[in-house]
């Protein structure tokens, strides 16, 4: 049930520069071609960020740099070892 899927934030709606006490900052996100409304009140997302979306909420901003490293470091390491 802790499934979360990546999506790209394309538009941030009401409450941008949000007030801490408020839930419910809405955004539009692109799930590989399908657009859906999500809530971004748990993260400081900007338009263009990839976020992990769980039950309609962005729970984390994906770290692009780390994403690259995970794959590339492993590729390199495995090249060297075999």
Max alpha carbon distance in the chain (Å)? 54
Question: Could you tell me the smallest distance in angstroms from the CB atom of residue 51 to other proteins?
Answer: 9
DSSP H stretches of helix in 1-82: 64-81
Residues that bind other proteins (CB under 8 A): 1-6, 8, 20-24, 31-32, 39, 41-44, 50, 52, 54-57, 59-60, 62-64, 66-67, 69-71, 74-75, 78, 81-82
Q: Residue 14's closest CA among 2, 26, 4, 1?
A: 26
Nearer to other proteins, 28 or 52 (CB): 52
């Amino acid at each position: 049930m802790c499934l979360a899927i990546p999506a790209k934030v394309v538009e941030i709606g009401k409450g941008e520069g949000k007030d801490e006490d408020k839930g419910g900052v809405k955004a539009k996100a692109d799930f590989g071609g399908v657009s859906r409304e999500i809530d971004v009140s748990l993260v400081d997302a900007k338009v263009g960020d990839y976020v992990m979306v769980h039950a309609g909420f962005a729970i984390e901003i994906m770290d692009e740099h780390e994403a690259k490293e995970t794959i590339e470091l492993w590729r390199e390491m495995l090249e060297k070892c075999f």
